[in-house]
Amino acid sequence: MPAIIDENECTGCGLCVDECPAEAITLLDIGVSRVDPAECTECGACVDVCPVAAITLE
């Protein structure tokens, strides 16, 4: 399963966008990040870098 971002917890800092080696995460205009499940490689880099634990891998 690809990474899941809890948009209620995401602060829009963009660290996950910068860290994602697959470029599967984008920062939306509304100030939250979103994962493209088709591009996510489930590496967990975004989970490790998120300062508010808004990203999970299931």
Q: pLDDT tens across 2-21, in order?
A: 999 999 999 999 999 999 99
Q: pLDDT tens across 26-55, in order?
A: 999 999 999 999 999 999 999 999 999 999
SS3 for 1-58 is CCCEECCCCCCCCCHHHHHCCCCCEEECCCCCEEECCCCCCCCCHHHHHCCCCCEECC
Q: Is the pLDDT of residue 58 over 90?
A: no
**CA–CA separation, 44 and 28 (whole Å):** 20
Alpha carbons within 13 angstroms on the beta-carbon side of residue 42 total 5
